[in-house]
């Protein structure tokens, strides 16, 4: 389970996260939605110990990320694509991540197979498409068999088949008792993946609930998204 409680982040005089509170539950896929600059990455970076909050707390499985003994076995994450150097092959990259985290080397081929990159395992990452990079990022996140997955914009660059594949993989993870939190600025793309939605706008939570709850009273998903993230635009309609 992931818990955010009254999370605050400031950059100089600007408050970019204003008392963010929500949960991502076990056995559920939770989508964290908002337009560019709303505060999604800032929230996830604090959760993953890459940035510090100015107030509040972010917990994974009841603990702060920095206090986890074996982080990769607790939470697998993907921020900013695969994070692999262009000159390395997928296999080399994953072997290095596995080695530096005490994960048996045999896991590398398993996760490459799982994300559909077995045939491209020896290709340099610089030659990968955006979608292949996303698959590689997911492979790294899965290496430690974590219960919790945190994915920043995982459907970016995926074609419709890739999105369908991602949906199946995340569904399987949640159905197996795992927790999935993914961010996106594409409401339509994640609607078919997520059980729960959390909408952020201007550093504040604008709505949360099941898909049906968040879209209630709006003609379409897209309408709901624009209304929730841009009240001025909704008022002008
Ligand atoms: N290091 C920083 N210094 C100053 N402002 C920052 C910094 N990092 C983020 N911000 C600001 O904080 C706000 C939230 O940014 P964040 O990257 O969290 O948004 P996002 O929802 O992830 O957007 P995107 O979809 O574009 O990645 C933005 O206005 C951004 O300009």
Res 236 pLDDT > 50: no
Nearest by Cα to 169 from 101, 78, 102: 78
pTM of the model: 0.92
The residue whose CA has the least distance to atom 14 of ligand 1 is: 39
Domains and CATH numbers, the chain: 2-80+147-236 (3.40.50.300)
CA–centroid distance, 33 to ligand 1, in Å, is 14
Close Cβ partners of 107 (under 8 Å, ≥ 6 residues apart): 98, 143, 144, 145
Query: Ligand 1, atom 5: nearest CA belongs to which residue?
Result: 11
Residue 237: its pLDDT value, please? 40
Query: Following DSSP, what letter does each residue of 145-192 receive, concatenated?
Result: --SEEEEESTTTT--HHHHHHHHHHHHHHHHTT-EEEEEES-HHHHHT
Residue 160, pLDDT score: 87
Q: Give me the pLDDT at residue 80, please.
A: 77
Q: How confident is the model at residue 126 (pLDDT cuts 50, 70, 90)?
A: very high
- The mean pLDDT value for 189-198 works out to 88
Burial, 227: exposed, middle or buried (Cβ in 10 Å; 0-12, 13-18, 19+)? buried
* Cβ–ligand 1 contact at 229 (below 6 Å): no
* pLDDT mean across residues, the chain: 91
| Centre of ligand 1 from the C-alpha of residue 131, in Å | 23
pLDDT recorded at residue 92: 95
Helices (H), the chain: 40-47, 71-74, 90-100, 106-114, 130-142, 160-175, 187-191, 211-215, 221-229, 231-236
| Residue 80 CB less than 6 A away from ligand 1 | no
Please give the distance of CA 32 from its chain centroid, rounded to a whole number. 8
What is the pLDDT averaged over residues 119-128?
A: 92
- Give, for ligand 1, the residue of 13, 17, 38 to mutate: max count of ligand atoms closer than 8 Å to Cβ: 38
As a whole number of angstroms, the distance between CA 91 and CA 72 comes to: 18
Rounded to the nearest angstrom, the distance between the alpha carbon of 18 and the centre of ligand 1 is: 13
- Residue nearest (by alpha carbon) to ligand 1 atom 12: 16
CB 136 within 8 A of CB 84: yes
> What is this model's ipTM?
0.94
Say how far apart CA 111 and CA 200 lie, in whole Å: 32
Residue 172 near ligand 1, beta carbon < 6 Å: no
Whether the pLDDT of residue 202 is over 50: the answer is yes
Cβ of 16 less than 6 Å from ligand 1: yes
Q: How confident is the model at residue 169 (pLDDT cuts 50, 70, 90)?
A: very high
pLDDT in tens, 133-165: 999 999 999 999 999 999 999 988 888 888 889
Is the dihedral angle over the CA atoms 71, 200, 164, 127 positive or is it negative?
negative
Tell whether ligand 1 has an atom less than 6 A from the beta carbon of residue 79: no
């Amino acid at each position: 389970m992931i818990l955010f409680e009254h999370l605050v982040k400031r950059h100089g005089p600007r408050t970019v996260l204003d008392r963010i509170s929500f949960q991502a539950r076990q056995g559920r896929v939770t989508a964290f939605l908002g337009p560019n600059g709303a505060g999604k990455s800032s929230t996830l970076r604090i959760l993953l110990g890459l940035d510090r909050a100015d107030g509040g707390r972010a917990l994974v499985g009841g603990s702060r990320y920095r206090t986890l003994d074996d982080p990769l076995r607790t939470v697998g994450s993907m921020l900013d694509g695969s994070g692999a150097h262009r000159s390395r092959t997928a296999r080399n990259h994953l072997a290095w991540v596995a080695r530096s985290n005490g994960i048996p080397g045999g896991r590398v081929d398993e996760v490459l197979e799982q994300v559909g990159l077995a045939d491209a395992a020896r290709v340099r990452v610089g030659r990968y498409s955006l979608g292949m990079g996303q698959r590689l990022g997911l492979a790294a996140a899965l290496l430690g068999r974590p219960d919790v997955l945190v994915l920043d914009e995982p459907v970016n660059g995926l074609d419709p088949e890739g999105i369908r594949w991602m949906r199946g993989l995340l569904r399987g993870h949640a159905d197996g008792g795992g927790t999935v939190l993914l961010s996106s600025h594409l409401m339509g793309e994640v609607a078919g993946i997520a059980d729960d939605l959390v909408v952020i706008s201007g550093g504040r939570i604008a709505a949360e609930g099941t898909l049906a709850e968040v879209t209630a009273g709006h003609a379409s998903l897209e309408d709901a998204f624009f209304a929730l993230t841009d009240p001025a635009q909704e008022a002008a309609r």
